[in-house]
Amino acid sequence: MILGVNIDHIAVLREARKVNDPDILEAMYIAIQAGADQITIHLREDRRHIHDNDAYRIAKLSKVPVNLECSINEEIIDIVCDIKPTRATLVPEKREEVTTEGGLDVLTYKKQITKAVQKLKNNGIDVSLFIDPDFDMIDASKETGANMIELHTGSYANIYAMLYGNLSYSHHCIKTLDLPKKELEKKLQRSLKTLKNAAKYGKKINLEVAAGHGLNYQNVIEITKIKQIQELNIGQSIIARSVFSGLDSAIKEMKQLCSQK
């Protein structure tokens, strides 16, 4: 299974002090050396972490494919066409969100998304759509001309964290998931089944299938067992682990988990 390492959070730390430390390019080189199959970054409209010059340099210097996440904003799409990453993954984006909160609403914004997909493809860029694991969204994604979907695993990850992690004891506790263990176990199995069915359906209609969001060293194992998913994009948990173990070790550990049968 391909591992795309999202290095956005290196830039988050850099922007916290407005200095070029840590260096995003150094992170890219370490990630590649550690076995990352792909470098993933998100060029947000508000430029809260990755900036245009970061994206240009990474696309130019990376020896592995670059997956650039972005909104369907026309100005952003024009910049991505100029950067020419290996792939663009279209994601929903709200200024006030901490991180991407859900999948792209392909049904509502199908016309705009199709326009963005075609422009990117005309510039030689593969296109993936970051969507919730929903059959209607998968069908709509296919109709836009995108050749890949990335299934949003956030719901699965949140349930897992509330069930097996310490999230419920923290001030980030998800109140809607503050439920009895048996109920959370059922929710987790339903969420996992939904992801499995969505991956199977996507593959059936000839879409490449990736997955990502909230995946970590504990919950990723079940996702790696879904054979139709060929790629995972993981960032925050790797960077968090690297604070204690180093980026090289953190990536190698995740890579090993992704390689398990």
Residues catalogued as catalytic: 42, 69, 213
- Which stretches of 84-171 are DSSP H helices? 110-122, 135-144, 154-164
Nearest CA-CA partner of 146 in 109, 113, 112, 104? 113
CA atoms within 13 A on the CB side of 176: 4
Burial (CB count <10 Å: 0-12, 13-18, 19+), residue 13: middle
Alpha-carbon distance of 126 to 128, in angstroms, equals 7
Q: Residue 210 — φ and ψ, nearest 5°?
A: -120, 175
Spatial contact of 145 and 118, defined as CB atoms under 8 Å apart: yes
